Structure 1
């Protein structure tokens, strides 16, 4: 199909983009990499009157160090995130996950900010942001504000972004001394995850000192598996103990039934995948 007619704007700065959004109101849509938006437009599931293309805003691209965290521009592509030496060193979980998204074409066009702002529960990157305890910098008519990953995604395809705000960058705390791994199950390589698990583990004295575990596609947003995290604290770093702790992975989740999997199958998968992800992150 062909999208409905719309006005096309290509600002060159964040302030210009914010002004365009403020003028258009809720009739506008932001175009980042377009990997999610363009199919929706073609199917006429979305019919904006104004499309604001951020591709010309140079300040929204790139990775840089800012003290204790990395600042990653919202228009930085998945491939750039995956190949960045800084991300590989200080946030390897994010680099690993970015490298698994879609296929090569998607990774070269899709953007970090676009994926996070789209807030698809089956997307990989929200789980990485939650596990890494990232922060999002949002720019609007009143200036800039910072929102934590835990508060950014508020529901299915819904975020804390206002209609007149732009996601500028993602601030990721540097992590050292943690093992990390992302495990996901999907039908084919390019498909969305039926279930995914992001895990970070810090070991001490032969055991697990602390762990962070976040689940993909087990609810309307990425979910921290707090019951697993609590069970892993002080747990022996050996397969049987980890597997037992990870049996709590489905607690507090609300998976859906769809054409790819039933809710019960997802609950089974998340227990298995969480055990694998934690074991790999712990190096056992």
Structure 2
């Protein structure tokens, strides 16, 4: 599979470029970025072509990997899908439901494969745990905490405009939902949403399976308090999400494998654009409740 990278920021450099370059079954064809000088620098590092024209890159490949802000990703993903290119995307799929739906419609109409990279879902130990708990069933309640210190450290993502605008709900909320939804079922509704310190958000969800879940999300946690965890309680007792030992590059390599399989078989991956759209819908519902409370 010949694949191109759209994006040149920290995540493209830390995860996408090394994963695509090091994958034995991918032909890493080139890089496009909104800043041509950054695209050239990254492309030169990996010995691939830097593209000035995004449509030229799309025309030269079978698939695109996207490491761009959600609003830019959504528009380019739909554009690439309409050109018949498979999609390896990042979360969140889009900043609005309408933009997310446009991606899903383009994927469906073109018959291309899509995989959205929710990191935890592509790490071996967490993935196996999620599958096992979904099969076990009988869950009564769950508690998810995704507490980042992006804005309280010198994180390379601290200057990200979209993260500063949308906060933890849209950045780490997708990670928590990607674990909870396959185990507890779809969220019938966001029962409650409240703001905590700085960008911290707390949600309560009702799930199709009858369980409820609570989520605490933040990018401004103290360094000593940062971390992620999910606890389930039900008829089988209590269990916690194991910590993934694989790097982001390892996980992204597995996501690329999933895209190759989906493209070859025509069978959608569980973390496809349609699933990511559902996550976007839940985030938008929660954001609406938060805005109502702020009035």
Q: Same fold (TM over 0.5)?
A: no
Choose between structure 1 and 2: higher helix proportion.
2
Which TM-score applies when normalising by structure 1? 0.30
Relative contact order, higher structure (CA 8 A, sep 6+): 2
